[in-house]
Amino acid sequence: MMRVKNVLTIITGAIPFVVGSILNRALIEQSDSVLPLIRIGLLFLSFWGIVAFVFQNRMKNAKRVVVLLNAIAAIDLLLLGIQELVIHAYWGNVIGGWSQLFYLPVIKIGFLLTNWSHTVFSAYVVSFVLMIVVSVLGCRIRIWQSQLDNK
């Protein structure tokens, strides 16, 4: 049963691909209007914390939840780093396109926090760190709630 929970957590970690694809479509279809990208990013990060909160209740292991939930994010960050820092170009195939969509829901916040940098990769790194921090907070809040419930 534990393996099913692990696999489900990893699969859930792919949700940013879906959200990024939907957001990309909205950006293309509504190119003449400005979407509230900061608000979208904050909503997505809140959702990511709630996901961690829920999985913490099921798995009872915060480290495992954070690692498994963000495993795809780490792999995606690695792919983005190879593309931007090593090759200096994004791949023109499905992997290159999808790797950029993953962080789309939070990339605006990443750019705001890295306005000192001259690379897009730093915004991706900050986006990844934000997802990690929010998932840790979601787990910690669940642990605190459990401790209060047991008192």
Measure CA 66 to chain center: 11
pLDDT tens digits along 52-101: 999 998 888 999 999 999 999 999 999 999 998 898 888 787 788 888 89
Q: Which tokens belong to 54?
A: 């829920």
* 2-53 residue pLDDT tens: 688 899 999 999 999 999 999 999 999 988 888 899 999 999 999 999 999 9
